[in-house]
């Protein structure tokens, strides 16, 4: 029977000196969460709570604008969304709509004109989420038994592919309108989400959908496909979805800890040859995987089983024995 909720972990020990026992306890909790769920929430994470609340409020204000006003913020010529991002500023009324701020680290940014404070809030919160990324990369590395700086150095400490997006889910009026974001796994390293009180985010565990209950000031963390492959399935990239709610609009802001497309991804020796286990995935170029996912989104396969995900690179048990 699946647990009724994902863990909530206090990061406060990592934001002050001392209390190594508390750090070890929190690290072990994160290790278990990454192994069992691929999802957890963190509190006392160092991102200012008033800034998070302001960003959500301004996001809702932006999405409440008339469509013509929102369309003023469409992608400008010469700018491109980050690798793997398809539904860029999607105002198609299919249940949700997106607004994207490209990574300030890369110098590529999109800001809404109304309310003007929205862009300022997103740009202000971005470096706070980068700081959280560094902390979480360190904790996840330690949880895997790797050097504390492994994940950060793996991407050459380059944040230019990280990006931020705000998402709005329209409320439903009828029971058959629950579509929001279908079940999927994230391709990147780590994803952070903070949301309003409406809820709707769910994670799949043991064939059961478990709601990620909104908690004031909490940030949801989930493991992406990159870490699943590097760890040879020690840590899981979990399927998750968003279900729209009746009579309530959901807003969330999502930060993607991402990699450069030319990064080679394969299981690390620590989780294969060094412990006598066969790799569960063949190596691949990250941009190749992203291109396959983009193709799937633009031209969905007729059969769900043909949808491209990280199992595309799986090595069968028979092949492992050869």
pLDDT in tens, 18-77: 789 999 999 999 999 999 999 999 999 999 999 999 999 999 999 999 888 887 777 666
Per-residue pLDDT for 307 more than 50? Answer: yes
8-266 has which CATH code?
2.60.120.330
Structure tokens at 255: 């930060």
> What 3-state class would DSSP assign to 75?
coil
Per-residue pLDDT tens over the stretch 204-249: 998 999 999 899 999 999 999 999 999 999 999 999 999 888 888 9
**Helix H or strand E encompassing 203:** strand 201-205
Per-residue confidence at 2, pLDDT binned at 50, 70, 90? Answer: very low
123 to 111, 116, 163, 164: CA distances (angstroms): 9, 12, 11, 9
What band does 109 get if pLDDT is binned at 50, 70 and 90? confident
Claim: this prediction has a pTM higher than 0.75: yes
Do residues 257 and 158 make contact, with C-beta atoms less than 8 angstroms apart?
no
Reference 27, options 148, 181, 169; nearest CA is 148
Burial degree of 106 (CB within 10 A; 0-12, 13-18, 19+)? middle
Residue 80's pLDDT band, with cuts at 50, 70 and 90, is: low
Q: What is the mean pLDDT of the chain?
A: 87
What are the φ and ψ backbone dihedral angles of 199, each rounded to 5 degrees? 80, -165
Q: Give strand pairing partners of 155.
A: none
């Amino acid at each position: 029977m699946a647990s009724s909720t994902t863990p909530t972990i206090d990061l406060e020990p990592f934001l002050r000196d001392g209390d190594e026992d508390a750090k070890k306890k929190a690290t072990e909790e994160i290790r278990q969460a990454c192994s069992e769920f691929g999802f957890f929430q963190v509190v006392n994470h160092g991102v200012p709570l008033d800034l998070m609340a302001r960003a959500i409020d301004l996001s809702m204000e932006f999405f409440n604008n008339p469509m013509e006003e929102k369309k003023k913020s469409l992608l400008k010529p010469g700018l491109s969304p980050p690798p793997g991002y398809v539904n860029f500023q999607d105002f198609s009324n299919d249940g949700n709509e997106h607004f994207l701020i490209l990574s300030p680290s890369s110098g590529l940014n999109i800001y809404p004109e109304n309310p003007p404070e929205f862009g300022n809030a997103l740009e202000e919160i971005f470096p706070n989420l980068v700081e959280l990324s560094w902390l979480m990369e360190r904790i996840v590395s330690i949880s895997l038994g790797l050097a504390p700086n492994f994940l950060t150095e793996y991407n050459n400490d380059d944040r230019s592919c990280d990006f931020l997006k705000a998402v709005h889910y329209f409320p439903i009026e009828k029971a058959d309108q629950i579509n929001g974001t279908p079940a999927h796994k994230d391709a990147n390293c780590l994803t952070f989400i903070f949301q309003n009180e409406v809820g709707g985010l769910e994670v799949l565990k043991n064939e059961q959908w478990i709601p990620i209950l909104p908690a004031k000031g909490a940030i949801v963390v989930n493991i992406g496909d990159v870490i699943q492959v590097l760890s040879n399935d020690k840590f899981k990239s979990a399927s998750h979805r968003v279900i729209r709610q009746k009579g309530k609009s959901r807003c969330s802001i999502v930060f993607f800890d991402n990699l450069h497309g030319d990064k080679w991804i394969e299981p690390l020796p620590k989780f294969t040859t060094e412990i006598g286990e066969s790799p569960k995935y063949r190596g691949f170029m990250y941009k190749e995987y992203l291109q396959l996912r983009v193709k799937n989104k633009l031209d969905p396969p007729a059969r769900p089983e043909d949808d491209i995900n990280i199992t595309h690179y799986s090595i069968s048990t028979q092949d492992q024995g050869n």
